[in-house]
Amino acid sequence: MSTENIEKQEYNITVYTENQIGLLTRIAIIFSRRKINIESLNTSPSEIESIHRFNIVITETREVVQKVCRQIEKQVEVLKVYFNTNEDVIWQEMALYKVPTEEIAEKALVERLLRENGARVVVIRSDYTVFETTGHREETDMLITKLQPFGLIEFVRSARIAIIKDSEGFNRKLREFERREPGHEPIENEYLNKGAKVFTM
Amino acid sequence: MDTAQKEQIAQEPKASVEMTGSVALLEGLIAEGVDTIFGYPGGAIMPIYDALYDYMDKLNHVLVRHEQGGIHAGQGYARTSGKVGVVFATSGPGATNLVTGLADAQIDSTPLVCITGQVFAHLLGTDAFQETDVINITTPVTKWNYQITDATEIPEVLAKAFYIAKSGRPGPVLIDITKNAQLQKFNFEGYVKCDHIRSYRPRPHVRQEYVQAAADLINQAKKPFILWGQGVILGSAEQEFKAFIEKSGIPSAWTVLGAGAIPTDHPLNVGMLGMHGNYGPNVLTNECDVLIAIGMRFDDRVTGRLDKYAKQAKVVHLDIDPAEIDKNVKTTVPVWGDCKETLPLLTELVEAKQHTEWLAKFNDYMRQEVEAVIKDELFPTSDELTMGEVIQLVNELTKGEAIIVTDVGQHQMVACRYAKFNNTRSNVTSGGLGTMGFSLPAAIGAKYGAPDKEVIAVIGDGGVQMTIQELGTIMQFGVAVKVLILNNQFLGMVRQWQQLFHDKRYSFVNITSPDYVKVAEGYRIPGQSVKEREALKAALKTMIEHEGAYLLEVMVTKENNVFPMVPQGCSVSEIRLK
């Protein structure tokens, strides 16, 4: 058994769904029932009109993630679920920081701060200034540390959004799903995976 | 709706007719072939009940005494008929009373469509009278649920509900309809059954590679062993299953819900699996070389301790639900698909064999079990009656032709172990959820689902007191079910565990009973109570031969334990005979 089956790591779960009221609950309770914390959750449109896309981040073993994903995919209004490690996706999170303008203007080398952290100024008012940055967790975290001495008033970070590196999108899959004959989706299984390469999700 | 309108619908299903949401719902039910509904009216479902008044000739509505009774009856109906059970309940408490039955149906894969009334759409979220958030309460215990706030949605949503409930791995569906939608008039353009939902793929394309890989393993096996579950029954694959085991000659054991898929006395049927299953099937699970699981889900009551479960064996798993593959037991070859489709493919590829020596091993263990357990249970020498001898006499009198509906506890395990089933869909019980109080209402539904069959509800003195009000339903509708109470004056299974694992500290397991014969008499149901062996057979005969409903209480010995037993946390091979 490979170590990824035993060791926990961050997984990015991508769920393609119909846009249906109540589906968020149906998906969320699959995690809460197993006492798994959802670290990040984003819902958005997908590349296809009317198809919704969830991005969910959890830290778990591969085995647990795979089982959870099968339970999600079992829901009637879920079309397809993919799970990927951080290496398999391009991901971003956005963060906003509010600091007192007086402090930051007087004491900080604002220009350098922005340049070094790839941040932008969104709003400058006499009482406060809002910075914005986009990137990985470490990057958005780093700016918190840097702004803390200048009296960081408010901080917020968005959910993670992720694009799967080797995905060709969902259009072809959707056309398959719209056909009436039984699906040709394979099921992942260790034994058969070894035998033939076709058995992957 | 007048007769002319009804005729118009019948003749031109596509013609647009103005009707209320309630009438459209009933028309939809008829189009789905529904003949029986179990339900209970109330404020928020009154428009549907008003419409039902004009449909009494087409839809048989059974007024239960509690919504939980209604949904268990729906389950019993679905289990014996193979059709979708239909249940009506009102909003608020009516709907929340369905939750136990929904959870039971979800875990036991029983197809149901439950219709609940809901407050007017403009009142949603206002804490209106009898308003509860039924959709969110029932989400974890339904295969699918949906709230309708506009009548025009009714035909399409109902069609989806039936399709989802019965296709793939079946399960319960709940539709919550706000009162305004029930009352709203709209142009009904006919009912079209659903056979495709793009996001829902209930049946996969069966991959021949999997079937071939499974057949290869089976053909090489020296000690193959089949475990079958309810999937064989749900997939109506009993014949395909029989053909498979008869060609391959493989000993086969069943889960509680799989009982009856092939007759009890089939020579390859080696008995029951699990915590109170037979000796051989449990011990030999850890000796077989290829384990073939068909339509079963490796419940913990079947597997015992997982890390000591069949570790030596290669596992072939046939299931329609891909989420079951590798869920509890790592599968060597998953044959994902409907077993009605996959079994014949597999039968084709397996070699015709007889595993005589291997089968003899099961029979050896059975002889040991007969000696240590079964002999005393079925043919006791002590004065007091045992549950087993009652079931044994039922077998004798019904010749295995009856439908046995059990509750939960010791009597359930005894009945499942010893009842003889000649026919499929004859064993109705609450398997996964273990719902006490299931049997009496489920037996009512079972009788509606199989009116020509003898239906016997076997219940303990604990369970019967949980849903005893359904005797009222039996009385009012003249449901000819036989109620057989096995009274040991204890909550027997809990008592057994307290005896074995809690130093005999009997904490609240001592339960008293009313005079059941008098209670039945109050409901105008005849009955009797027996405690002597000499009277037992005649009493059972009277019960079975009685035309209508009948209640028989049998006083059995108080502190008998069900054995064999795989204690919790132990491996199946550590099964105890005493």
Taking an 8 Å cut-off on Cβ atoms, the answer to whether A183 and B333 are in contact is no
In a domain, B565, yes or no: no
**B222 domain residue, yes or no:** yes
Interface test with chain A among B141, B169, B194, B198, by most A beta carbons within 10 Å = B198
Of B68, B104, B87, the residue nearest B435 (C-alpha): B104
Q: What is the CATH number of the domain that holds B336?
A: 3.40.50.1220
Query: Smallest Cα–Cα separation from B527: which of B490, B470, B557, B484?
Result: B484
Distance from CA of B339 to the nearest CA of A (A): 14
* B72, two tokens: 């268990």
Looking at residue A200, what is its pLDDT?
36
Instruction: List the structure tokens of A48.
Output: 């296809």
Q: Are B334 and A189 a contacting pair at CB < 8 A?
A: yes
> Are the Cβ atoms of B326 and A67 closer than 8 angstroms?
yes
Shared domain for B102 and B166, answered yes or no, is: yes
Instruction: Burial-class residue B423 by CB neighbours within 10 Å (0-12, 13-18, 19+).
Output: middle
- Is the separation of the CB atoms in B119 and B445 below 8 Å? no
Residue B309 near residue B300 (C-beta atoms within 8 A): no
Contact B40, B87 (CB under 8 A): no
Q: Is the pLDDT of residue B206 over 50?
A: yes
> What is the Cα–Cα distance from A41 to A20, expressed in whole angstroms?
17
B286 lies in the same domain as B434: no
Q: Which one, of B427, B416, B414, B420, lies nearest residue B388 by Cα?
A: B414
Pick the range with the lowest mean pLDDT from A1-10, B60-69, B165-174, B283-292: A1-10
Residue among A187, A192, A194, A200 with most chain B CBs within 10 A, to mutate:
A187
The DSSP symbol for B372 reads I
Interface of B with A (CB under 8 A): 135-136, 139-140, 143-147, 164, 195-201, 203-207, 209-210, 213, 321-323, 325-327, 330-334, 336
**Interchain pair A74, B210: CB under 8 A:** no
Q: Is residue B378 part of a domain?
A: no
Q: How many CB pairs under 8 A join A and B?
A: 85
One domain for residues B395 and B533: yes
The set of catalytic residues of B is 67, 129-130, 179, 493
Residues B423 and B487 in one domain: yes
Q: Tell me, yes or no, whether B352 lies in a domain.
A: yes
Does one domain contain both B164 and B214?
Answer: no
Query: Is the residue at B367 inside a domain?
Result: no
Q: Locate the chain A residue with the closest alpha carbon to B314.
A: A191
Q: Considering CB atoms only, which of B197, B204, B210 is closest to A76? A: B197
**pLDDT higher than 70, residue B491:** yes
Same domain? For B313 and B403 the reply is no
Mutate to test the interface with A, among B194, B201, B317 (most CBs of A within 10 A): B201
A189 contacts in chain B (CB < 8 Å) = 325-326, 331, 333-334
> Of B330, B361, B392, which marks where a domain is finished?
B361
pLDDT confidence of B468, banded at 50, 70, 90? very high
Residue spans of chain A under pLDDT 70: 1-4, 183-201
Nearest by CB to B139, which of A25, A71, A177? Answer: A25
Taking any CB pair shorter than 8 Å as contact, residues of chain A touching chain B are 17-18, 21-22, 25-26, 29, 33, 66-67, 70-71, 73-74, 76-79, 174, 177-178, 180-187, 189-192, 195-196
Instruction: For residue B205, count other CB atoms closer than 10 A to its CB.
Output: 15
Q: Which domain holds residue B415?
A: 383-555
Residues B43 and B119 in one domain: yes
Question: Which of B155, B188, B221 finishes a domain?
Answer: B188
pLDDT confidence of residue A187: 64
How distant is the Cα of B335 from the closest Cα of chain A, in angstroms?
9
Contact A187 B325 (CB under 8 A): yes
Alpha-carbon span B180 to B45, nearest angstrom: 10
Domain boundary among B188, B216, B234: B188
Q: Are residues B224 and B179 in the same domain?
A: no
The pLDDT of residue B37: 98
Residue in A71, A78, A180 closest to B199 by CB: A78
Q: Domains in chain A, start-ordered, CATH in brackets?
A: 3-89+164-195 (3.30.70.260), 90-157 (3.30.70.1150)
Residues of B in contact with A173 (CB under 8 A): none
A192–B334 C-beta distance less than 8 A: yes
Alpha-carbon distance B424 to nearest alpha carbon in chain A (angstroms): 28
Q: Which residue of A has its CA nearest to B161?
A: A76
Smallest Cβ–Cβ distance between B136 and the set A25, A67, A180 belongs to A25
Quick check: B322 and A187 CB within 8 A? yes
Q: Chain A residues with CB inside 8 Å of B329's CB?
A: none
Could you tell me if B147 and B277 lie in one domain?
no
Q: B332 with B389, same domain?
A: no
The whole-angstrom distance between A78's CA and the closest CA on chain B is 6
Amino acid letter for position A84:
N
> Which of B135, B195, B206 shows the shortest C-beta gap to A22?
B135
**Quick check: is B130 in a domain?**
yes
Burial (CB count within 10 angstroms: exposed 0-12, middle 13-18, buried 19+), residue B302: buried
State whether A77 and B199 contact (CB < 8 Å): yes
Q: Which residue of B has its CA nearest to A77?
A: B199
Nearest-neighbour CA in chain A from B279: distance (Å) = 31
CB–CB contact A70 B204 (8 Å): no
- B220 and B149 within one domain: no
Of B204, B322, B332, the CB nearest to A70: B322
- Predicted complex ipTM exceeds 0.85: yes
Compare CB distances from B334 to A174, A185, A187 and report the shortest one's residue.
A187
Asked if the structure places residue B473 within a domain, the reply is yes
3-class SS string, B42-79: CHHHHHHHHHHHHHCCCCEEEECCCHHHHHHHHHHHHH
B386-431 residue pLDDT tens = 999 999 999 999 999 999 999 999 999 999 999 999 999 999 999 9
Q: Determine whether the interchain pair A187/B336 forms a contact, defined as Cβ–Cβ distance below 8 Å.
A: yes
Say if CB B312 and CB B286 are below 8 A apart: yes
pLDDT in tens, B348-396: 999 999 999 999 999 999 999 999 999 999 999 999 999 999 999 999 9
CA atoms within 13 A on the CB side of B292: 28
pLDDT at res. A186: 63
CATH (domain of B393): 3.40.50.970
Average pLDDT over residues B13-35: 92
Beta-strand ranges (E) seen in B69-123 are 85-89, 112-118
Which run of H or E residues covers position B252? strand B252-254
Asked if the Cβ–Cβ distance from A22 to B321 is below 8 Å, we say no
Gap between the Cα atoms of B290 and B73, Å rounded: 39
Sorted by sequence, the CB contacts under 8 Å of residue B451 that are 6+ apart come out as: none
Q: What is the pLDDT of residues B438-451, one digit of tens each?
A: 999 999 999 999 99
Least Cα separation, residue B309 to chain A (angstroms): 18
* Total structural domains within chain B: 3
Q: Which chain B residues have a beta carbon less than 8 Å from that of A181?
A: 205
Q: Which residue from B minimizes the CA distance to A70?
A: B323
What does the pLDDT read at residue A111? 81
Residues B236 and B285 in one domain: yes
The answer to whether the CB atoms of B213 and A192 lie below 8 A apart is yes
